[in-house]
Structure 1
Amino acid sequence: MLNDIFIMYRNGEVIPFIILAIVSVGYIIIFEKFILLQFVYRINFEKFNSTIKKMLAANDMERARNFTKATSRTSVPMLTLKAIDAYENDPMRVRSVVSEESLRFFPRVRRRINQLPNLAAACVLLGAIATVQGIWRSFRMVEGLELGIKSFAFTTGLSHALLPLAIALVAAVLLMLPFGILDAIAWRLEAEMEHSLCVILNILSPEMQPMFTGGSGGSSQSDSADGHSGGGGGGSGLDDDGMDRVESKGRRNDVSDTGGLQEVPDEEEII
């Protein structure tokens, strides 16, 4: 089959050359994204996180800025530098600045990777078109021939017509395997970058908790004040029975308070 494929390219057929061009474009994308993901965007995230965390916790912004510039000019160090600049200008804008820069940078990680399945599908479709055209040419070629010659010519033409489809399937495999690898690398890189940004934001811009200073106490005091005022206002509207109950309650309290004291007997009672 390889000899037939070389003969097809030697004859200068169009569709196999188009498939070869598509595969070449796909592998340019593959090599470019592999270099970016593995050698440009990727850093030692564990070391970077521990070092930048110590510097930011110590509020040593100048050393942190120099460390990010020395580490990389893109990826997480670039976003960290933006966060430090925002923190020195306005600490309340750190999260908004990091969010804007992240939304601008993160699409670069997967840029052009998702074109590889489209290129593989285009190869398969072009191979199918070439196969259909070759089968149709085989039917046209065997018209008017004898039965023995017709079967030989048809099988020869059919085997030749299936070659573009075989080339297309091989090209699709060669494109989809690196696509799966690059997609896994990009997913892991995005997860590590998100973790690093979370570490930085937790130091530079921790979430503000709502502070209620005396809110509930003031309301309870006002409620108690309203209760006392309401009680005083309600006391003015008591009838005679209510006043008698209040006086009797007061007398009972007085009796209970003096109940524990023993009366001293007079001298006549002693005699």
Structure 2
Amino acid sequence: MADSLGNFFVEGGSVMYVILVALILAVLIAVERFYFVFFRFNINGENFMRKIQQLVEARNYERAIQLCNAVPRSALAKVVKAGLVKAGQDPRDIQNSVDEAALEILPKLTKRTGFLQVIANVATLLGLLGTIFGIILAFKAVAEVDPSMKQVVLTKGIAVALYTTAFGLIVAIPSMVAHALVESSTTKIIDEIDEYSVKLINQLAAKSQEDRQTA
């Protein structure tokens, strides 16, 4: 197996090693993004907000903040907490606090995700570049090489063309899939933040208005 992989890289030429670097980068970025998006920043938003809304309805803001502190790495919890600490204040202050927290957390959700798409495109183009190099070698075999070496050089050119194209696609396809999965989960988290932060602001504003009317 090791010998086969070694031959795969040797026969594919120098472009194979550049594609290998792209593969390593894609794996590192994908693992990091999967960890943050699927585990660190993500929670069950519906269940979490149901509990928060019940506590806000009971005006138990301190307990709601404690619930947010229980999941300190969650993106949604950070934004919700920013609104809860301003409970009872002017709705504009609540809105500004939520917006500030969202602006702080959203770049952390999206950073480096786009690199997966870039790596997929670059790997495909590198495979194409290797194909061109292979074709050049093949033509050189026909036009310039000694007849006794023509078979060897022609085989080498075909190997470079096929191996680099295959390896480029092997890197590109999983990178595109990883990008789609991470981007989909990121969009879901951002949509939850947008939806639930608006609902929280409206609920806190309604409670503040009720308190003023009964004061």
TM-score tier after normalising by the smaller chain length:
0.7 to 0.9
Provide TM-score, normalisation by structure 2. Answer: 0.82
Structure 2 unaligned segments of length 5 or more: list them: 209-215
Residue in structure 2 matched with residue 158 of structure 1 by the alignment: 157
After superposition, the Cα gap between the structure-2 partners of 1:93 and 1:123, relative to the gap in structure 1 and judged at 3 Å, is: same
Residue in structure 2 matched with residue 187 of structure 1 by the alignment: 187
Secondary structure at 1:48 match in 2: helix
Pairwise mapping of residues 1-271 of structure 1 onto structure 2 (< 5 A)? Answer: 6-10=6-10, 13-87=13-87, 91-142=91-142, 143=144, 145-146=146-147, 150=150, 152-153=151-152, 155-162=154-161, 163-206=163-206
After superposition, the Cα gap between the structure-2 partners of 1:194 and 1:92, relative to the gap in structure 1 and judged at 3 Å, is: closer
Residue in structure 2 matched with residue 252 of structure 1 by the alignment: none
Deviation at 1:96, TM superposition (A): 1.5
Aligned-residue Cα RMSD (Å) equals 2.8
Residue by residue over 1:61-106, the C-alpha shift from the partner in whole angstroms, topping out at 9 and shown as x without a partner, is: 2111111101334411111221122335655411122112212212
Structure 1 unaligned segments of length 5 or more: list them: 209-271
Contact 1:135 / 1:157 at 8 angstroms: preserved in 2? no
Contact 1:87 / 1:93 at 8 angstroms: preserved in 2? no
Deviation at 1:154, TM superposition (A): 6.0
**AA matched with 1:161:** V
Structure 2 Cα separation of the partners of residues 138 and 70 of structure 1 = 64
Deviation at 1:23, TM superposition (A): 1.0
Deviation at 1:137, TM superposition (A): 2.5
Equivalent pairs: percent with the same residue?
Answer: 22
- Name the one with the larger helix percent: 2
Structure 2 Cα separation of the partners of residues 88 and 77 of structure 1 = 19
Residue by residue over 1:181-201, the C-alpha shift from the partner in whole angstroms, topping out at 9 and shown as x without a partner, is: 222222222222222212211
**AA matched with 2:33:** K
After superposition, the Cα gap between the structure-2 partners of 1:82 and 1:149, relative to the gap in structure 1 and judged at 3 Å, is: closer
Contact 2:12 / 2:164 at 8 angstroms: preserved in 1? no
Secondary structure at 1:86 match in 2: coil
Q: How many residues align?
A: 205
Deviation at 1:173, TM superposition (A): 1.0
Structure 2 Cα separation of the partners of residues 185 and 45 of structure 1 = 12
Structure 1 Cα separation of the partners of residues 145 and 8 of structure 2 = 26
Deviation at 1:25, TM superposition (A): 0.9
Structure 1 Cα separation of the partners of residues 50 and 129 of structure 2 = 56
Runs of 4+ in 1 over 6 A off after TM superposition: none
Residue by residue over 1:16-56, the C-alpha shift from the partner in whole angstroms, topping out at 9 and shown as x without a partner, is: 11211111111111111111112111112122111111111
Deviation at 1:161, TM superposition (A): 2.4
**AA matched with 2:101:** E
Provide TM-score, normalisation by structure 1. Answer: 0.66
Contact 2:134 / 2:158 at 8 angstroms: preserved in 1? no
After superposition, the Cα gap between the structure-2 partners of 1:69 and 1:166, relative to the gap in structure 1 and judged at 3 Å, is: same
Structure 1 Cα separation of the partners of residues 102 and 21 of structure 2 = 35
Bigger relative CO (Cα 8 Å, ≥ 6 apart) = 2
The structure with the largest alpha-carbon Rg is 1
Residue by residue over 1:220-257, the C-alpha shift from the partner in whole angstroms, topping out at 9 and shown as x without a partner, is: xxxxxxxxxxxxxxxxxxxxxxxxxxxxxxxxxxxxxx
After superposition, the Cα gap between the structure-2 partners of 1:13 and 1:119, relative to the gap in structure 1 and judged at 3 Å, is: same
